[in-house]
A and B are shown apart, each in its own frame.
Chain A
Amino acid sequence: DSGVTQTPKHLITATGQRVTLRCSPRSGDLSVYWYQQSLDQGLQFLIQYYNGEERAKGNILERFSAQQFPDLHSELNLSSLELGDSALYFCASGKGGDVEAFFGQGTRLTVV
């Protein structure tokens, strides 16, 4: 158990819908990272938050947004969903100066 909690574990939704994925980082971790793992794109970095502020942005679509709350949990919002958004979404957390980031178990999103 990495200490990073992601909910829900599985999500099935229809095209055009909006979903929210939640991540609770390890106690004391200030950084939260979101990654998308799809069959054709591999593991792609989406966005990083550090202590409530956006720190880095990767290949995140405009239909996607994220935020980190004062208690340091983070949410990834995916809207106007398309079939191609079906993927495994990982959250990882770290203290910042850590060498390692710790991964949650992921949320499997299926868009039908």
Chain B
Amino acid sequence: AQTVTQSQPEMSVQEAETVTLSCTYDTSESDYYLFWYKQPPSRQMILVIRQEAYKQQNATENRFSVNFQKAAKSFSLKISDSQLGDAAMYFCAYRRKETSGSRLTFGEGTQLTVNP
């Protein structure tokens, strides 16, 4: 079974600084998807960024980027120029590639605090 581990229950960062959230996963599949979701106090699940395992290039979305190390099964999220609105719980998630879709397996989450 696939597992996702986030070893940092809490992280904090100063506004305008950079922070990196860690995630490792375990799978025997060769092709899959990885995601970072943000859950603010509203509890809505918001997709931040996604990575397809067969793509070697790291995904980037504005201030958010990932460091995808397939061999090490590591998928970290870097947030640059942190803003107060980035404060939230962040979940790393894994998904197998299937034509009918497949479940997301989530990590435990990292609570990010942004200090003004």
Give A residues with C-beta under 8 Å from B. 30-31, 33, 35, 42-43, 45, 48, 50, 55-56, 58, 88, 90, 92, 94-101, 103, 105-106, 108
Question: What's the Cα separation between A102 and B4 when bound, in Å?
Answer: 20
User: Which 10 pairs of residues, A with B, have the shortest CB-CB distance?
Assistant: A103-B45, A31-B101, A43-B106, A45-B103, A50-B100, A96-B101, A96-B100, A94-B101, A42-B108, A99-B33
Q: Are B50 and A100 in contact (CB under 8 A)?
A: yes
Contact partners of B33 in chain A: CB under 8 A: 99
Chain B residues 39 to 54 lying within 8 A of chain A, measured CB to CB, are 42-45, 47, 50, 52
CB nearest neighbor in B for A90 = B45
Give B residues with C-beta under 8 Å from A. 33, 35, 42-45, 47, 50, 52, 91, 95, 99-109
Q: Are A55 and B52 in contact (CB under 8 A)?
A: no
Question: What's the Cα separation between A96 and B41 when bound, in Å?
Answer: 29
Summarize B's interface: helix, strand, loop or mixed. loop
Question: What's the Cα separation between A90 and B20 when bound, in Å?
Answer: 27
Interface centre among B45, B47, B102, B104 (most CB of A within 10 A): B45
Q: Are B100 and A105 in contact (CB under 8 A)?
A: no
Give 24 pairs: A residue, B residue, CB < 8 Å, sorted on A: A30-B100, A30-B101, A31-B101, A33-B103, A33-B104, A35-B104, A42-B107, A43-B91, A55-B100, A55-B101, A56-B102, A56-B103, A58-B103, A88-B43, A90-B45, A92-B104, A96-B100, A98-B101, A99-B50, A99-B95, A100-B50, A103-B45, A106-B43, A106-B44
